[in-house]
Amino acid sequence: MAPDDGAGNAGNDLSPDDLLVDTHRRDSEPTVHAVARAIATAQEVPVAELDPLYEHVPVDALEALLEGADERELPVEIRFPLESHVIVVSAGDSVSVLAYDKT
């Protein structure tokens, strides 16, 4: 499976079998915290052992896009590759981590 093809199609060929973690943002939990928690769960490590998420994705933009989508009740889904995973964050508080083969 391929990561981002340069056109923003990170992991579009993933199947449900690739799902490692499917969770939701907790009440008043920032989206980036939910993403970090999901990644840590998928990697079976404490959140504190992860590289900062801002080293991989513009977290302010991620938060702003999802907040705007939530306010307008728009069905937005953001996917981005991170190491051997594809992270999928949806408006409405859903966060999924899927595995992909970089080769």
Angle at 9 between CA 8 and CA 13, to 5 degrees: 170
pLDDT value for 102: 60
> What is the mean pLDDT of the segment spanning 27-52?
93
User: What value does the mean pLDDT take over residues 72-101?
Assistant: 90
**Predicted confidence band at 103 (pLDDT cuts at 50, 70, 90)?**
low
How many CA atoms lie less than 13 Å away from 3 in the CB half-sphere? 12
Cα-Cα end-to-end distance for the chain: 7
**Exposed, middle or buried by CB within 10 Å (0-12, 13-18, 19+), for 65?**
middle
Q: Please give the average per-residue pLDDT across 73-98, as a whole number.
A: 91
The pTM (predicted TM-score) of the whole model is 0.77
User: Once rounded to an integer, what is the mean pLDDT over residues 44-65?
Assistant: 93
